[in-house]
Amino acid sequence: MTSRLTPLTPDDAAHRLTERRAVLVDIREPDEFARRRAKGALSRPLSTLDAQGLDLPDAREVIFTCRSGLRTAANSQRLVAACGAGAYVLDGGLDAWDMAGLPVELDLKAPLEMMRQVQIAAGLLVLLGVVLGLVVSPWFLGVAAFVGAGLTLAGATGFCGMARLLGLAPWNRPAAA
């Protein structure tokens, strides 16, 4: 068995899915999958792969995808080991699938992915701190420095306080049943 995933074009992948020879597995996190996904894809987040395994319906082939294909390719050995079947990567990921005109499900009611929310909030806070620092008082430059320190901490430790705070926002809470 090879330890690399074989690349498939979006059209080749769609053909295999139509013939029911394969199953499409999206390895992105649940917040990414909820907003935009290839029609019929199954969600198996890479972060929980070891804990839950793949737990796939009977399929002879597994086609893995992410947004651009880079995350899938970087984890190819782990994915090949987990599936035990013919293993492929969707070349170009969901972006290529979408550009090929293949069906994509989009849920605009789902919140943006958490990392995008963090990037937007951090960028706005830095911009605000710099503008206020130039126009009102240089002390506002401390806002930009504080955000920079928080991003450095997040990169070094994996703990992102801003993501935790944004996770408490009303738009990120699950809807009541």
Given a contact cutoff of 8 angstroms between Cβ atoms, the answer to whether 38 and 100 are in contact is: no
What's 54's DSSP letter? -
Q: Which residues are CB-neighbours of 11 under 8 A, at least 6 positions away? A: 100, 102
Distance CA 30, CA 42 (A): 11
How many Å apart are CA 24 and CA 54, to the nearest integer?
Answer: 12
Residues 123, 63: Cα–Cα separation, whole Å: 35
To the query of whether residue 66 is one of the catalytic residues in this protein, the response is yes
Choose, from 46, 66, 114, 160, the residue flagged as catalytic: 66
How far is residue 56's CA from residue 84's CA, in Å, rounded to a whole number?
11
Do 123 and 96 touch, CB atoms closer than 8 A? no
Catalytic residue positions?
66
